[in-house]
Amino acid sequence: MLCGSFWGGRFGDAVCPAKTAAGSSPWERGDWRQGTHCPGSTRGELTAGKVFLTVGLAFQLRCWSRADHSSCSVGLAFPFKDHSKMSTVFVSGPTGCIGAATVVHLLENGVDNVVGFSRREDFSRIPREYHDRIRFCAGDITNPEQVMAAIVESAPTAIIHLAAYQTPDCQARPMEGLDVNVLGTVNMFRAARQLGDSLERFVYASSAAVYGPRSLYAGDSVTAGSAYLPPNLYGYWKVAGEGVAQAFHAETGVPTVSLRLATTYGPGRDLGLTSAPTTAIKAAVLGQRYRLPYHGREHFHFVEDVGAGFSLSAIDPFDGYDALNLRGRTVETQVFLEVLQKACRDAGIAGFDIAVEDDATTMPFVCDLDAQ
């Protein structure tokens, strides 16, 4: 299982030997209040952070000790390297919950500066201590001229491409989804070609949506070599992105990684079909009624673990091309609800009404991801 940097350095006091002083968490300091997207009082927002943490601990997400980075694996079986040459990383989509977690992990692990490419400048999910090491370039990935100018001017050592439409937007506005998720990805890779040998890595955010329902795969786990059987347009477009990534590597020789992930939960996760577990956590904290729209077995990643996965895919030693699954934890929806209910009780939160919708659909995405 991938181990997230925040468990080791910020939130890991209960389980991690790399302890920090009490109150150092940005949630407890109140730095990321907007990132929790919990309306209402500060108390509600900070309590939400504590519940996120408690749920993460209950899922037994292993602590990543900063003293032993080599134990952190997303499937790249290489030791942690000297990052002294990794000066600038270009990140598309740096303002979302995964983007912000990725940016922070990069800056905490040897990267001097990050260039963020986004339609708007937004530091709300990034602790203030890192703001002077981040430069935003305003632009849209569907505009090839803007993408080209931003990447060539920035001259990054590595690129992490996160910007994308999520499943509901792709289904509701398929032509826009095609422009963003496919043509936008092509624009990123075309611009990256202009960097020549100075580019050391390209990391593409793929998805477990490239796979079909779990019932189509035999065995105890779904490996990175399992068949493409996407259930929707979003999945097919992620397959297309992986194809572009592989072609880019074949043409340029730049080491390239496509990283597949499933349900991300944690502060700021408010978009996409699988944002439902995060919405359930927030609703419980605020005493609101909420019904999960699906049921079944689901593969969970805490957001800071996802950020660590993308960051390490960009800065750990690697050569060639590979598509990798980000490890996590698969549990039944009912187990998730039981964990959430216990976390709320332990935090002194009462009056919540969280359950599965009576006519809930079956979870459409795969689970039991294995990095091998």
pLDDT tens-place string over residues 41-86: 333 454 555 555 545 433 433 332 222 333 334 434 333 344 445 4
Direct distance between the N- and C-terminal alpha carbons of the chain, in angstroms, rounded to an integer: 11
67: containing domain: 5-362
Contact 305, 313 (CB under 8 A): no
Residue 347 lies in a domain: yes
Residue 368 lies in a domain: no
Here the CATH number for the domain that contains residue 230 is 3.40.50.720
- What is the per-residue pLDDT across 338-351, written as a single tens digit (0 to 9) for each? 888 888 887 777 77
Residue 367 lies in a domain: no
Residue 43 lies in a domain: yes
Q: What's the pTM value of the predicted model, to 2 decimals?
A: 0.79
Contact 265, 305 (CB under 8 A): no
Backbone angles phi, psi at 46, to 5 degrees: -70, -35
Residue 238 lies in a domain: yes
Residue 371 lies in a domain: no
Contact 306, 261 (CB under 8 A): yes
Sequence-ordered list of residues with C-beta below 8 angstroms from that of 74, at least 6 positions apart, any chain: 2, 259, 309, 312, 313, 324, 326, 327, 371
Any bridge partners for residue 205, and if so which? 259
For residue 192, give the H/E element and its range: helix 184-193
3-state class of 336 per DSSP? helix
3-state class of 306 per DSSP? helix
- What's the token pair of residue 7? 């468990």
Residue 180 lies in a domain: yes
User: Of 272, 341, 320, 354, which Cα lies nearest the Cα of 96?
Assistant: 272
User: Of 339, 327, 235, which Cα lies nearest the Cα of 277?
Assistant: 339
Please tell me the distance from the alpha carbon of residue 19 to that of residue 23, in angstroms, as a whole number: 11
* pLDDT tens by residue, the chain, 372 residues: 223 322 222 222 222 222 222 233 332 223 322 333 333 333 345 455 555 554 543 343 333 222 233 333 443 433 334 444 548 999 999 988 899 999 999 999 989 999 999 998 887 888 899 999 999 999 999 999 999 999 999 999 999 999 999 888 899 999 999 999 999 999 999 999 999 999 999 999 999 999 999 889 999 999 999 999 999 999 999 999 999 999 999 999 999 999 999 888 887 777 777 788 888 888 887 788 888 888 888 888 888 889 999 999 999 999 999 999 998 888 888 888 888 888 888 777 777 788 888 888 887 778 888 765
- What's the token pair of residue 101? 């977690």
For residue 47, give the H/E element and its range: helix 42-58
Residue 257 lies in a domain: yes
Measured in residues, the chain has a length of: 372
Burial (0-12, 13-18, 19+ Cβ within 10 Å), 329 = buried
Q: Please state the domain count of the chain.
A: 1
